[in-house]
Amino acid sequence: DAAMPLWRRLAAVASAAASLPEAVGSEWPACQERDLVIRAAGQALFTNLQGYGATGGCFLDDCIHSDKFSASDITLCAKVCFSIPACEWWVWGSEDGEQKCWFRTGDDGRQVTKEKPGKWTSGHKSCFPPGTTVLARGNAKCWAEDFGYDTCCDPTHGPTGNIQCWDGVYTFDSCCFPPQEL
């Protein structure tokens, strides 16, 4: 709340940080919790991962409504979680021979996995590489004024987005997908 005095906001942040697990708040990569998987346990975060560049390994092959995607690097898990407001935890592991990221709204499904050391690694939203910034959904070069990802690309507008957004320069394909896949 902007009306709340700065000292009170800082105290609230410090209080919240004190309740997080010890690994959280450490510097990357020390903040990662190795051999820990966070199962869904009712806290799987299903969201539009396609807008961040996810193209495969998604739940039921649908990256528009998924809690996971195939990823080539653990840093992608941290960067995408950092970019999704509702994400609190990310998980890096293997499923069906593919490395993937999963996203969670909480950690109720915490499970230590010593039987296969190194298979799983998890991290809190605050665990990310230095220099991480919020990822833009779609192609950031397309958005201005009243035109943004939600206005133009939201799945509720159908498979080709909001037709009022597109002209000869801006198209669904060039704007609703990032220039690079994850």
pLDDT band at 7 (very low <50, low <70, confident <90, very high): very low
pLDDT band at 182 (very low <50, low <70, confident <90, very high): confident
Under 8 Å between Cβ of 136 and 178: yes
Under 8 Å between Cβ of 120 and 92: yes
Stretch 121-141: mean pLDDT:
96
Answer yes or no: is pLDDT of 25 > 60. no
Helix and strand totals (H; E) in the chain: 4, 7
Element (H, E) at 32: none
Q: Taking the CA of residue 49 as centre, how many other CA atoms within 13 Å lie in the half-sphere pointing to its CB?
A: 31
pLDDT at position 167, please? 95
Answer yes or no: is pLDDT of 20 > 80. no
Residues listed for the chain: 182
Answer yes or no: is pLDDT of 24 > 50. no
pLDDT at position 5, please? 52
The rounded distance, in Å, linking the Cα atoms of 164 and 176 is 14
pLDDT band at 26 (very low <50, low <70, confident <90, very high): low
Q: Render pLDDT for 89-99 as a digit per residue (tens, 0 to 9).
A: 999 999 999 99
Q: Which residue, chain included where needed, has tokens 């070069």?
A: 141
pLDDT at position 116, please? 81
Instruction: Please state the pTM of the whole predicted model.
Output: 0.82
Q: Which residue, chain included where needed, has tokens 């690079």?
A: 180
The rounded distance, in Å, linking the Cα atoms of 93 and 155 is 28
Answer yes or no: is pLDDT of 157 > 60. yes
The rounded distance, in Å, linking the Cα atoms of 6 and 27 is 25
Q: Which residue, chain included where needed, has tokens 């397309």?
A: 142
Under 8 Å between Cβ of 103 and 47: yes
